[in-house]
Every structure is written in structure tokens, then in C-alpha cells.
Amino acid sequence: MIKKCLFPVAGYGTRFLPATKAMPKEILPVLDKPLVQYGVEEAVEAGLTDIGFVTGRGKRAIEDHFDVSYELEHQIEGTGKEKMLEGIRRLINQCTFSYTRQINMRGLGDAILTGRTIIGDEPFGVVLADDLCFGDSEGVLAQMVRLYRQFRCSIVAIQEVPHANVSSYGIVEGEAISDRLVRVTNMVEKPKPEDAPSNLAIIGRYILTPDIFSIIESTPPGKNGEVQITDALLRQAQDGCVIAYRFRGRRFDCGNVDGYVEATNYCYENIYRKRSC
């Protein structure tokens, strides 16, 4: 059973400055809830309740969010506002939260390797909280956990993106197993459109087997001089098996203003208005 989920949250969020100057990008709210809380809810829905954050300088607000605020609780005790904290209180009761710091920003592969101390020797989920995902009937991570049980290897979530946008993503190529499943044979981090093997982009949801840690250790820096998880996964695919999964649902890139506004409108129409009426 997969119990642990890693949230690499050390990044500076430079695409969202100045909003992220003094505030972690993962705390940006979509409506009334921070992005990172959506991610943790998705993990819990998939049964992953041991939550690990690979954090960094200036990210204290994330720790505070997943902790009790006694002063605040005291202040609103017995008022109608108490119910606004129900969701986060439930998460705090259901989960354990662990934190470790990435000292130098050396890329997503390095961030995941930093989380080894929390994960140990078991398969685990990875959520990039600025990719906000809504599964069709079940969450994207829950869909992936089911696939893991079937294949027992690393799984990456993918979606088709416009060819012009491939340079923002890890791109996969492989043999189709079925409509939604691809056995990965090649992966390239942020290729130029003319060099991209496909338009199947990895989005921020992964299930990784723990051998990935030693693979990352011996993976040299790649694109932008950073240790890329995409490069480590390619080696795992070549030596064993990595499955790419075209998930059922929607994903919003909340790391930029367009995706963030789209997500906000989607949540307002599909979640908030339904909740309010």
C-alpha cells in the first residue's frame, strides 16, 4: 500500500511575482483555499496520509497552514465561522506532516532526492501543488494508485498539450498499451517544439518506486543545469518500466496567471456556487 506523498515546495514561484515575493506560491488561494490544500486533499482521497514537504526558505506559511492556530480557533469559537475551518481541521487529524529542507535549488530531481529521508524504501506519490487537478469521478492520484497496484512500477500523469507549448514540460514517447496507457520508451525535459518526440506532457502527479533515489543520485544535471526527474525516470524506463497515464479529469497550471484565473473560474462555477446553493 502507498501511504506517503511528497510535496516539493521549495521553488521560488518566480512566474508569479510579485505575489510570491513574501508568500509561498503554494499558499495562493483558488477561491477560499490555498493550492497546497487541494493537493493534500487529493493525496488523502488516494489513501496517502503521510504527507512530506520538501520545503525551503520563506515557506513557513505552509507549516502554519497544516497546524492548529490556537489564537484563531479561540477567537472564532462558538461563531458561525468555525465551519470554515472544518476542512483543514479534518486534514490535520487525518494526516501526519513531515518537513525537510532543500538547501540549494538544484531542480525537481534533487528536491525529490531530498525527500528520501521522509520516504525511505517504499513507493510514494509526488504532487506539484501548482498543477491543480480535478479527476472526473475520482482524483487523479487515486486513479494512479490503482494503476500502480496493477503495474508495480513508476507512473506519470500525462496530457496532450499544444505542440507550441512542449518546451514547458517533460515530454514522453512510448508504446501504447491501451487508450490511456503508454509504456514509456523516451522522455525529454522541456524540448524545443522541433525536437519534441510527441506532445504528451508530464503534469505534476507521479507515483515513484523507491529505486528512483539511487537513480537520481547518479543522474547528472540536465536541462537548465538542474537534476531533472524526467532524466531519472528515463533511465528507470530503460532498465525496467515506467507507465504514462492519460488521466481522466482536468488540470490547471496555476503557476501562471492564465491557468490560475481559469482554475478560479472553474472552481467558482463547479464547486463554490454548488456549495453555496
- Residues at the site binding ligand G1P, with contacts judged by CB under 6 A: 108, 128, 131, 169-170, 189, 201-204, 228, 230
Burial class of residue 258, CB neighbours in 10 A (0-12, 13-18, 19+): exposed
CA-based nearest residue to 62, from 27, 108, 14: 27
Which is it for the CA torsion 65, 68, 73, 78, positive or negative?
positive
Q: Which residues pair with 172 in a beta bridge?
A: 187, 200
Q: At closest approach, how far in Å is the CB of 122 from ligand G1P?
A: 23
Q: Which three-class secondary structure state does DSSP give residue 23?
A: coil
Q: At closest approach, how far in Å is the CB of 235 from ligand G1P?
A: 15
Q: At closest approach, how far in Å is the CB of 40 from ligand G1P?
A: 17
Q: Which three-class secondary structure state does DSSP give residue 166?
A: helix
CA 155/CA 203 separation, integer angstroms? 11
Of the pair 172, 181, the CB lying nearest ligand G1P is at: 172
Q: At closest approach, how far in Å is the CB of 259 from ligand G1P?
A: 10
Of the pair 128, 237, the CB lying nearest ligand G1P is at: 128
CA 68/CA 237 separation, integer angstroms? 42
Of the pair 88, 205, the CB lying nearest ligand G1P is at: 205
Q: At closest approach, how far in Å is the CB of 147 from ligand G1P?
A: 18
Q: At closest approach, how far in Å is the CB of 204 from ligand G1P?
A: 4
Q: At closest approach, how far in Å is the CB of 170 from ligand G1P?
A: 3
Q: Is 263 left (phi over 0), alpha (psi -120 to 50) or beta?
A: alpha
Of the pair 50, 189, the CB lying nearest ligand G1P is at: 189
Of the pair 88, 132, the CB lying nearest ligand G1P is at: 132
**CA atoms within 13 Å, Cβ hemisphere of 105:** 9
CA angle 113, 114, 116 (to 5 degrees): 65
Of the pair 108, 147, the CB lying nearest ligand G1P is at: 108
Amino acid at 25: K
| Residue whose C-alpha cell is 518546451 | 167
Of the pair 88, 188, the CB lying nearest ligand G1P is at: 188
Q: Which residue is nearest to ligand G1P (CB)?
A: 170
Residue 100 has φ and ψ, to the nearest 5°, of: -140, 150
